[in-house]
Chains A and B, each alone.
Chain A
């Protein structure tokens, strides 16, 4: 069968098989915010492999964003830990940029222009000079922002701002890109266009992407693996592996796509029935 549910044993076997390719393993991560009575995420187990396009899908408030923020060190988990077997994928002082984060909103600094916004991570990391310039123009070309360097954020459309945000995340040449519902503010066609570009960039830059979304369409279209989450407390409900699919340009019109979308939809609906 082209798709399968992973059992615990499968998962273990996978890790053994792909030990070299495993780049992150979250083990029983929980997070309880001070203001909340119960955990917002509980007992999250999740693996990321080299080259994955991994989607985390679930209802609003199930803690998808918290998982991403824990991964990049913006949030501290209440319990559990993350393993980074191939070492320096973590945001450590020595290697702070191997993970990058694309926020839900473009999150650009309004007081500096596009060029300076993209440069910001390099400035924080203390990189400057022509090498930094080279990196900046590389990503500007990559995301199609040429000619917009001197624009200020408020002169840009939503889609353009998102491109700047993606360029800024890519400028540090990360190995893992964490994306938090990056296109939720865009209209359908633009979302599709940008999503395709993300796939292209991922291939070109050999990225591993962790993608948080509540769009079934996007998750099935883009990812090889999908984690479905349930809410209250946020938990992994089911996990799907669609790795064997050849995701060509017209994939979204195939019966396979629809079949997979059905499976994910069904899973999401069941996850909401669970108490």
Chain B
């Protein structure tokens, strides 16, 4: 039997080979669907341009993700401690979540001068909600027995949070993080699409638009590939972090040791 990882890698390789082969066999048009080799060459030819754009996009995505972590976590704790705060603020966050980011982005670009900051706001708005919702349900899903255990010894609110509530919310938080990490990247790209190139050095979204103008389809594909690859890497990074944090105790990793 193949291991899970080898299996996924192999299937990707097979798809690429089929793609490359059918390009040559069926005489496909490179300007409609370039073969992987051409995309790879374009990536090398435009390496500096593309990778520095990738750096910009990733910088925005990471900053948005870190902001989401800090703000969602703090909000979740505040909501846990105060029903009043939850009832007053939660509707706003839900509204922000359900309104398409493309609809708010023009407004944000009017309000915020710097295009980088505006894109960051977009990425943050997209990324933070799943993290908030997951952390909140995590905080609420503490086992009653665990709560009673610390109450028995007269634990105060802070101790209850620290010893029981927050640790039991951790798996929820981490699965929220998996969703949010992808969304932060999506937000960073979508934001730049709507708001326009980021001053200084534009991100990958602008490279895609630019390639469209130039009819440089291989470069367009190369940009898209870079976004996908970094999304996959980001997702796996979060998976690895979850594994390190939870492997000792959480049932989702029970079969691994």
Task: Check if A91 sits within 8 Å of B152, measured CB to CB.
Answer: yes
| Interface locus among B29-37, B142-150, B190-198 | B142-150
Q: Which of B53-98 contact A (CB under 8 A)?
A: none
A121/B145 contact (C-beta < 8 A), A110-B249, A110-B250, A111-B170 known: no
- The reply to whether the CB of B248 lies closer than 8 angstroms to some CB of chain A is yes
The residue in chain B whose Cβ has the minimal distance to the Cβ of A121 is: B153
| Interface locus among A96-104, A197-205, A213-221 | A96-104
Contact pattern, A 65-98, Cβ under 8 Å of B = 1, otherwise 0? 0000100111000000000000000010100110
Task: Check if B153 sits within 8 Å of A124, measured CB to CB.
Answer: yes
- The reply to whether the CB of A6 lies closer than 8 angstroms to some CB of chain B is no
Task: Check if A124 sits within 8 Å of B248, measured CB to CB.
Answer: no
Tell me how many residues of A have a C-beta within 8 Å of chain B: 26
- The reply to whether the CB of B151 lies closer than 8 angstroms to some CB of chain A is yes
Task: Check if B163 sits within 8 Å of A124, measured CB to CB.
Answer: yes
Could you say which residues of chain B place their CB within 8 Å of the CB of A152? 248-249
- The reply to whether the CB of A44 lies closer than 8 angstroms to some CB of chain B is no
Task: Check if B149 sits within 8 Å of A120, measured CB to CB.
Answer: yes
Contact of A97 among B148, B153, B163 (CB under 8 A): B153
- The reply to whether the CB of A30 lies closer than 8 angstroms to some CB of chain B is no
Contact of A154 among B146, B155, B163, B254 (CB under 8 A): B254
Task: Check if B249 sits within 8 Å of A124, measured CB to CB.
Answer: no
A124/B145 contact (C-beta < 8 A), A111-B170, A154-B251 known: no
Task: Check if B249 sits within 8 Å of A154, measured CB to CB.
Answer: yes
Could you say which residues of chain B place their CB within 8 Å of the CB of A123? 159, 163
Task: Check if B155 sits within 8 Å of A124, measured CB to CB.
Answer: yes
- The reply to whether the CB of B167 lies closer than 8 angstroms to some CB of chain A is yes
Task: Check if B154 sits within 8 Å of A124, measured CB to CB.
Answer: yes
Could you say which residues of chain B place their CB within 8 Å of the CB of A112? 167, 249
Q: How far is the CA of A262 from the CA of B239 in the complex (A)?
A: 59
- The reply to whether the CB of A20 lies closer than 8 angstroms to some CB of chain B is no
Task: Check if B145 sits within 8 Å of A103, measured CB to CB.
Answer: yes
Q: How far is the CA of A247 from the CA of B144 in the complex (A)?
A: 37
Q: How far is the CA of A111 from the CA of B254 in the complex (A)?
A: 13
Q: How far is the CA of A77 from the CA of B170 in the complex (A)?
A: 35
Q: How far is the CA of A172 from the CA of B155 in the complex (A)?
A: 14
Contact pattern, B 121-153, Cβ under 8 Å of A = 1, otherwise 0? 000000000000000000000000110111111
- Among B154, B167, B250, the one with the most A-chain Cβ atoms within 10 Å of its Cβ is B154
- The reply to whether the CB of A109 lies closer than 8 angstroms to some CB of chain B is yes
Task: Check if A74 sits within 8 Å of B249, measured CB to CB.
Answer: no
Q: Which of A162-202 contact B (CB under 8 A)?
A: 172
Task: Check if B150 sits within 8 Å of A124, measured CB to CB.
Answer: yes
Task: Check if B152 sits within 8 Å of A74, measured CB to CB.
Answer: yes
- The reply to whether the CB of A243 lies closer than 8 angstroms to some CB of chain B is no
Other CB < 8 Å A-B pairs besides A74-B152, A93-B154, A121-B152, 7 of them?
A: A91-B154, A97-B153, A103-B148, A105-B145, A107-B146, A121-B153, A124-B163
Which are the 3 A-B pairs with shortest beta-carbon distances? Answer: A96-B154, A124-B153, A110-B249
- Using a CB–CB distance below 8 Å, which chain A residues touch chain B? 69, 72-74, 91, 93, 96-97, 100-101, 103, 105, 107, 109-112, 120-121, 123-125, 152-154, 172
